Amino acid sequence: MKRSIISALAATALLLSGCGGDETRDYNPSISPEERAQAEQQHPQLLAEFGGAWDGPEAAYVKQLGETLAGAAGLADQCTFTMVNTDVVNAFAVPGCYIYLTRGLVGIVNSEAELASVIGHEIGHIVAEHSQRRQRRGIWSGLGALAVGVVSGSQTLANMAGRAAQVYTLSYSRKQEYESDDLGIRYLAQAGYDPYAAADMLESLADHDTYQAQTRNLDEANAIPAWARSHPLTADRIKRANEKAEGTGHGPDVLPDHEDRFLRQVDGLLWGDDPEQGYVLGRRFVHPGMGIQFEAPEGFFLTNSPRAVLIDGGEVRGQFGGAAMPPGGLEAYVEALLREVLGKAANQARIGQAQRTRVNGVETIVVPATVQGQQGQAQITVAAFQGRGREGFHFITAGASGSESAISSLIGSFRLLAPAEAAGLKPRRIRVVTVGQGDTIALMSRRMAVADHHIEAFLMLNDRDPKPELRPGEKVKLIVQA
Ligand SMILES: [Zn+2]
């Protein structure tokens, strides 16, 4: 039944957008107070999902640039621009003109005009009201039906099922992408930037996607909802963007790109995961500050957020978190956790025998519980670990029966890091350097603090091809260990 409603909507969208042919339609954009209020309400949850607001100097720069583009689009003082602290390369727009750009995306940009083109494109989605026509589909809807359906009143389980995560996994249609490209390019030129930067930026995003596929394991690539996933990239989009730039009447490189201004801003920007939040490395989660790590079983995806690490294993969902150890010790910690997890359903739940054990030398309590609902049984497992000092850590998992071995493998992988291991996980930053006499791509690439694919990483970061070689005096970005 859902499907037929969606295709009817899609057909309407096609009819509507079909009227204007290939010409960019004119809009009279305005943001309704209702939309803005709704976006404002969602804002804290989106921030939580995306690592929180980035508060480095780059954030103010993004806001200011955003406001310039909003002005060009006829939306002056009506939008809210936020840079979020995640290394995922993405940008998205929420109705109400709340626009989010990730730290990872800012890192791969090479000029102010390119960054402006991403912002212009997102404003285009707002102006043309594309989100309102998108298909609502959540990556985490499966467990929602299972756990939230049976266990009411538990905020933890509701969060595990995920809601805000929906927004960035939605994808636009090709037609909508084209329209946003066109609107974005128009705003770019109106704001006084080289409109050809839009095509350059699309190329950078495509290169980043290829680089990701080359260097990350497939599990991780699938787990990360990147820009290329929500804004489908096609080869002719880049060609088209160049044609549209020509259509603005400006020749290439006539209007400025402001490369230097951008590179000054991005010099020193954190690259990769924030050590304050811990690192997701494939199926591994490592937190040097807390001195802990665990590894999820094959086929699981981990997503880091400031509140918790979200664990998605299809049939099994869960989260990993930590808290101060209460005076009552590990028993009190587990009891508090169970109360929080089961919520109002505690009366209907069958709580199993608590097992006290040691996992890799760490004092551990595991408590299984079963909750009966209309759609079957949900197995809830709570495992708590005694950390160093007065810290506790825990897993909360929910899954259908048959997922026990995956859950015990997850719990069994928890361990404390040796101090030397923790010290080895230093943060990385972008460093802008000037190419010297005799510097080649191969030589510069060797200075990149990446595990492998040094040359590919250098070319991706700087949006370059292997040829031509570097020129002395030009500026390039490197990733260095801070
Ligand atoms: Zn888009």
Which of the four CATH numbers 3.10.350, 1.10.10, 3.30.2010, 3.30.360 does domain 428-481 have?
3.10.350
CA 71 / ligand 1 centre spacing (Å) = 19
Chain segment 90-114, per-residue pLDDT in tens? 899 999 999 999 999 999 999 999 9
SS3 254: coil
Top pLDDT among 401 and 115 is at: 115
The domain limits of the chain are 18-135+170-266, 279-423, 428-481
SS3 35: helix
CA 130 / ligand 1 centre spacing (Å) = 9
CA 180 / ligand 1 centre spacing (Å) = 6
Q: What is the pTM of this model?
A: 0.74
Top pLDDT among 154 and 336 is at: 336
CA 173 / ligand 1 centre spacing (Å) = 9
SS3 55: coil
Place of tokens 């859950």: 407
Output 369-373 pairs: Cβ under 8 A, ≥24 positions apart.
Answer: 369/338, 369/342, 371/147, 371/150, 371/151, 371/342, 371/345, 372/150, 372/348, 373/146, 373/149, 373/150, 373/151
CA 13 / ligand 1 centre spacing (Å) = 16
> What pLDDT is recorded for position 370?
87
Report, as an integer, the average pLDDT of 326-331: 94
CA 449 / ligand 1 centre spacing (Å) = 31
> What pLDDT is recorded for position 14?
31
CA distance 224 to 87: 10
CA 194 / ligand 1 centre spacing (Å) = 19
279-423: which CATH architecture? 3-Layer(aba) Sandwich (3.40)
CA distance 373 to 121: 45
What phi and psi values does residue 187 have, to the nearest 5 degrees? Answer: -65, -40
CA 124 / ligand 1 centre spacing (Å) = 8
CA distance 91 to 111: 16
Q: What is the number of helices (H) and of strands (E) in the chain? A: 20, 18
Q: What is the dihedral of CA 192, 195, 198, 199, to 10 degrees?
A: -160
Characterize 33-44 residue by residue with b for buried, 16 or more Cβ atoms within 10 angstroms of its Cβ, and e for exposed.
Answer: eebbeebeebbe
Residue type, 108: I
> What pLDDT is recorded for position 159?
53
**Quick one: which of 445, 436, 438 has its CA closest to 464?**
445
CA 174 / ligand 1 centre spacing (Å) = 9
What phi and psi values does residue 314 have, to the nearest 5 degrees? Answer: 70, -90
Top pLDDT among 135 and 390 is at: 390
**Which of 32-41, 49-58, 373-382, 436-445 is the least confident region?**
373-382
Place of tokens 């981990």: 302
> What pLDDT is recorded for position 203?
92
CA 46 / ligand 1 centre spacing (Å) = 18
Given a cut of 90, is residue 145 above it in pLDDT?
Answer: no
> What pLDDT is recorded for position 120?
98
Where does residue 410 rank: exposed (0-12), middle (13-18), buried (19+ CB within 10 A)?
A: buried
Given a cut of 80, is residue 229 above it in pLDDT?
Answer: no
Report, as an integer, the average pLDDT of 386-390: 90
Per CATH, 279-423 and 428-481 having the same topology is answered no
CA 1 / ligand 1 centre spacing (Å) = 28
Q: What average pLDDT is seen over the chain?
A: 83
> What pLDDT is recorded for position 160?
56
Would you place residue 79 in the very low, low, confident or very high pLDDT band (cuts 50, 70, 90)? very high
Chain segment 400-410, per-residue pLDDT in tens? 778 889 999 99
CA 122 / ligand 1 centre spacing (Å) = 6
CA distance 399 to 93: 33
Given a cut of 90, is residue 211 above it in pLDDT?
Answer: no
CA 229 / ligand 1 centre spacing (Å) = 10
Report, as an integer, the average pLDDT of 359-368: 97
Alpha carbon of 94 to those of 124, 131, 231, 274, 297: distances in Å?
A: 12, 7, 14, 25, 34
**Which of 97-106, 155-164, 326-335, 440-449 is the least confident region?**
155-164
CA distance 402 to 358: 24
CA 70 / ligand 1 centre spacing (Å) = 16
CA 2 / ligand 1 centre spacing (Å) = 24
Where does residue 197 rank: exposed (0-12), middle (13-18), buried (19+ CB within 10 A)?
A: buried
What phi and psi values does residue 440 have, to the nearest 5 degrees? Answer: -115, 170
> DSSP secondary-structure letter at 299?
T
- DSSP letter string over 135-181? ----TTHHHIIIIIHH-TT-HHHHHHH-STHHHHH----HHHHHHHH
Q: In what order do the strands lie in the sheet with 270-271?
A: 270-271, 428-434, 475-481
CA distance 96 to 91: 15
> What pLDDT is recorded for position 133?
52
Chain segment 414-448, per-residue pLDDT in tens? 999 998 888 778 889 999 999 999 999 999 999 99
> What pLDDT is recorded for position 355?
96
> What pLDDT is recorded for position 131?
79
CA 478 / ligand 1 centre spacing (Å) = 28
- The C-alpha angle with vertex 179 and arms to 174 and 180, in degrees rounded to 5, equals 100
Given a cut of 60, is residue 458 above it in pLDDT?
Answer: yes
> What pLDDT is recorded for position 88?
83
Considering 205-214, 298-307, 409-418, the range whose residues carry the highest mean pLDDT is 409-418
Would you place residue 293 in the very low, low, confident or very high pLDDT band (cuts 50, 70, 90)? very high
Residues 6+ apart with CB under 8 A from 320: 285, 294, 308, 309, 311, 393, 394, 395
Q: What is the dihedral of CA 451, 454, 458, 463, to 10 degrees?
A: -100
CA 231 / ligand 1 centre spacing (Å) = 4
Chain segment 241-270, per-residue pLDDT in tens? 999 999 999 999 899 999 999 999 999 999
CA 360 / ligand 1 centre spacing (Å) = 46
Strand ranges inside 8-97, DSSP E: 80-84, 91-94
Residue type, 293: Q
Given a cut of 90, is residue 4 above it in pLDDT?
Answer: no
22, 182 contact by CB (below 8 A) = no
Instruction: List residues bridging with 359 in a β-sheet.
Output: 362
